[in-house]
Structure 1
Amino acid sequence: MADDHTHVQDFFTPRAAGWDSRFPDDGAAYAAAVDELRLRPGGAVLDAGCGTGRALPALRTAVGPGGTVLGADLTPAMLDAALRAGRGASGALLLTDVGRLPLRTGVLDAVFAAGLVSHLPHPAQGLAELARVVRPGGRLALFHPIGRAALAARHGRDLSDDDLRAEPRLGPLLADAGWRMDSYTDEDSRFLVLAVRTG
C-alpha cells in the first residue's frame, strides 16, 4: 500500500504549485458538476481526492454555512496549494487515503470525486470505501472537466475500452462497490458519472 501511495504522491507533488494555473478555466465546469449532486442546505459532502480544492467553494455554496464540507487528499503539497488558494475557508482539509477514510459509516450525503478513479491503486476497494461513508440513497459524482477522448489525446494516447472510466467497465465496478449508476456523460467538454448509494 505504501508503494501505491508513493506513486500517487510522486505524480502530484511536483505538479501541485502550478496545478490551478495549468487549468484556469475549469471553475464553471466544477460548479456545474456540483449542481448535479443536488445537495441540500445543511448536507454533508466529501471531495475525495480534492487536490487543490477547486470544488470546495461550490460544495460550500451548495450545502450552505450549516453544512459540512470535507476535502481529502493523499498529497500534502496539493493540500498546501488548497490552503494558499484560500479554499480551506470552504471546508476542512484532511490528509488521508480515500481508501481508508477516518469517517463513520453512512455519515455523508454525497461524495464528489474529480479525476480520482484513474489514480486509485485499488479502484474497487476505493469506491467501496466511498460507499461505506455515504448513507443509502446518497450520491456520488465522478467528474473530469474534459472527456475521455480529449484526455487521452492530451496525453498522446489512444482511447481504450480498458479505461476504468469506460461505461462497460465502470458500471459493474460501481455496482460491486455499492453504487447504482444513474447517468453517464462522456463528452469533449466533460466526463460526469452520477451514482446512488444502494442498500
Structure 2
Amino acid sequence: MSPDSSAEQSDAIAARSPATLAQSFYTRWASLYDTIARRAPGVGTVRSEAADALDLSPGDTVVEMGCGTGANLPSLAERVGPDGTVVGVDFSPGVLDVARERAREYPNVHLVRADATQPPIPAHVPDAILATFVSGMFGDPEAVVSSWADLVEPGGRLCLVDLAETTDATWQMLNPVFRALVRVTAPPGTRTMRGSPTAMLDERLVSAHRALESRCRVTHRATHVLGFARIRAGVVE
C-alpha cells in the first residue's frame, strides 16, 4: 500500500461517526463479545439477579435496551411467558444476528435495530426496561435513563447493570487490570482517546444510576464480581 493510500484510508476512518465506528466494531467482534457476555466469571449470577429485580409477571412487556447478542433474552422470555412480549433493541447488526439465532425458539421475542437513546417504543407500552452494560456508551446517560423512565407508566420497573472500577478495598489492586481491559475492548474512537476510558465509564455509570434513583423508588442495590458489577433497580414513580 502506498503512503497516499494509507493516508486516504486513515482519513476515511477518521471521517466516520463514532456511532458508525461502534456498530462496525461490535459487528466484527460479535462472537467474542457473546462469549464474554455469557461466560465471564459471575456474569450469569448478575444477569439472573437483574431479571429477578424487574419482578416480571406472565403477560408483561419488557424491553431490553442494548440487548447485544441476546444473553438475557431467553430468561426474560420465560419469565413473561407466551402471553408476554420481549423486545430487544440494539444498533449493531452483527450482534443482532447472534441474538436472533439465540431467540429463535421464543416467538414472543422481537428484535429491533435502533439506537437505544431513541428507541422506537411507544410510551406506556413497556411494563419494565432492562439495560445491561450499556450506560457507558451514552454521551448523556442521565438524559437517556430518564427518557426510559418516561416510557413506562408509574409503577413500571427499570433496572441497570453496569461495570466500573471496584471500590472494595480488598480488590482495588485489580483496578489497573480492569482499566486495561476497558481500553482494549472499547470501540476504536474511545480506545485512542487521550483521557482514561475507565474514568469516563465510571462517570457515566454514576450519572445513569443517579437518574434511575431520581425517577424511581429504588428496590434493589447490589454489587458483584469483586465489586466491578453494579445493579440498580426501582419502580418508576
**TM-score, structure 1 normalization:** 0.82
| Match of residue 174 from structure 1 | 212
- How many residue pairs were aligned? 192
| Match of residue 111 from structure 1 | 129
- The reply on whether 1:163 has 2:203 as its aligned counterpart is yes
| Match of residue 195 from structure 1 | 234
Do the aligned residues in 1 keep the contact of 2:159 with 2:233 (CA within 8 Å)?
yes
For residues 151 and 114 of structure 1, the distance between their equivalents in structure 2, rounded to whole angstroms, comes to 20
* 1:63-113 CA-partner distances (Å, limit 9, x unpaired): 1110010000010111011123x3243310000111112121111110111
For residues 38 and 118 of structure 1, the distance between their equivalents in structure 2, rounded to whole angstroms, comes to 25
Long gaps (5+) in structure 2:
1-15, 167-173, 183-195
1:74-93 equivalences under 5 Å are 74-84=91-101, 86-90=102-106, 91-93=109-111
Identity of aligned residues (%): 28
Long gaps (5+) in structure 1:
none
What is the root-mean-square deviation in Å for CA atoms of aligned residues?
A: 2.7
For residues 44 and 13 of structure 1, the distance between their equivalents in structure 2, rounded to whole angstroms, comes to 27
Q: Residues 93, 106 of structure 1: CA spacing in aligned structure 2 closer, same or farther, 3 A cutoff?
A: same
Q: How far has the Cα of 1:147 moved from its partner? A: 6.0
- The reply on whether 1:48 has 2:72 as its aligned counterpart is no
Q: Is the strand fraction higher in 1 or 2?
A: 1
Aligned match for 1:134, one of 139, 152, 158: 152
**TM-score, structure 2 normalization:** 0.70
Aligned match for 1:100, one of 99, 118, 122: 118
After TM superposition, what 4+ stretches of structure 1 lie above 3 angstroms from structure 2?
26-29, 150-153, 157-162, 169-172, 178-183
Q: Residues 154, 171 of structure 1: CA spacing in aligned structure 2 closer, same or farther, 3 A cutoff?
A: closer
Do the aligned residues in 2 keep the contact of 1:48 with 1:111 (CA within 8 Å)?
yes
Aligned match for 1:17, one of 28, 31, 51: 31
| Match of residue 193 from structure 2 | none
Do the aligned residues in 1 keep the contact of 2:37 with 2:71 (CA within 8 Å)?
no
Aligned match for 2:48, one of 22, 28, 31: 31
Q: How far has the Cα of 1:119 moved from its partner? A: 1.1
Q: Is the helix fraction higher in 1 or 2?
A: 2
Do the aligned residues in 2 keep the contact of 1:147 with 1:187 (CA within 8 Å)?
no
Which amino acid in the other structure matches residue 195 of structure 1? G
- The reply on whether 1:185 has 2:222 as its aligned counterpart is yes
Do the aligned residues in 1 keep the contact of 2:158 with 2:212 (CA within 8 Å)?
no
Do the aligned residues in 2 keep the contact of 1:98 with 1:129 (CA within 8 Å)?
no
Q: Residues 10, 125 of structure 1: CA spacing in aligned structure 2 closer, same or farther, 3 A cutoff?
A: farther
Secondary structure of the residue aligned to 1:106 is coil
Which amino acid in the other structure matches residue 192 of structure 1? I
Secondary structure of the residue aligned to 2:31 is coil
| Match of residue 154 from structure 1 | 178
Q: How far has the Cα of 1:197 moved from its partner? A: 1.4
Q: How far has the Cα of 1:33 moved from its partner? A: 1.9
